[in-house]
Amino acid sequence: MKFGVIIFPGSNCDHDCYYAVKEVLGKPVEFIWHQDTALKGFDAVILPGGFSYGDYLRTGALAKFSPVMREVKGFADKGGLVIGICNGFQILTESGMLPGALMRNVTRKYICKYLQLSTETTNSPFTNQLQKGQLLNIPIGHGDGNYFADGETLKRLNGEDQVVFRYHGENPNGSLESIAGILNAGRNVLGMMPHPDRSSEQILGSTDGKQIFESMVNALAGAGR
């Protein structure tokens, strides 16, 4: 079982993700440079948070042209696990790997704080260790987390059980139906604005994020990885 963490120019949570996998989960992990053109031997790929390409044009819009993204798409098409956190989620929507878009927070402010998420589905390789409705204490840190999708897409996301997390209580950014994280149709690609990498150790205030990574480990182990 091997995890990979992609480094885009401007990623700044790459080391947080690497640390969470290596030190907290105790699983093998390697960095992947954004110009790499092969993803060999990886079982799960993490697109970390940050400000890839300085958020120029639109958040995540230029990272989709990094050579490694073609590989990530191919990897996901073959069923590989991909999780995009914060800027990683923005990159996945801009790349067309997840539906919808992440717009400027409705408050027009960057928001960095702990809040509660409710677990909307356990039918995914990212939430199999959670209970439906379970509340998770996981922080956000973003200026563009206001999820938007057209009515038809939203209907499909709800109908196909692709909404994984919603903000519980306060909706911090104006996100449609308080959506905080969604799956692709194949259920092997997750995008979420909150940071499980910043909530995997008690010293950071919560270990709830760790359960998402542990679900991935569980899914991979079940598949013989």
157 near other proteins (CB under 8 A) = no
172 near other proteins (CB under 8 A) = no
> How many Å apart are CA 195 and CA 175, to the nearest integer?
16
28 near other proteins (CB under 8 A) = no
User: Is residue 172 a contact partner of residue 115, using CB atoms and an 8 Å limit?
Assistant: yes
Least distance to other proteins, CB of residue 98, Å: 11
111 near other proteins (CB under 8 A) = no
101 vs 204 by CB, closer to other proteins: 101
40 near other proteins (CB under 8 A) = no
Selected range binding other proteins among 26-34, 105-113, 127-135, 210-218, rule: CB under 8 A: 105-113
> How many Å apart are CA 148 and CA 153, to the nearest integer?
10
185 near other proteins (CB under 8 A) = no
108 near other proteins (CB under 8 A) = yes
Least distance to other proteins, CB of residue 138, Å: 25
Selected range binding other proteins among 76-84, 106-114, 156-164, 210-218, rule: CB under 8 A: 106-114
DSSP string, 102-131: EEPPTT-S-EEEEEEEEE----STTTTTS-
Contacts of 178 (CB under 8 A, 6+ apart): 166, 167, 168, 171
Least distance to other proteins, CB of residue 213, Å: 29
Least distance to other proteins, CB of residue 93, Å: 8
Which tokens is 36 given? 């790499």
Using CA of residue 49, residue 148, residue 113, residue 211, what is the dihedral sign? negative
Give the binding site for other proteins (CB under 8 A). Answer: 57-58, 61, 93-94, 99-101, 103-108, 148-150, 174
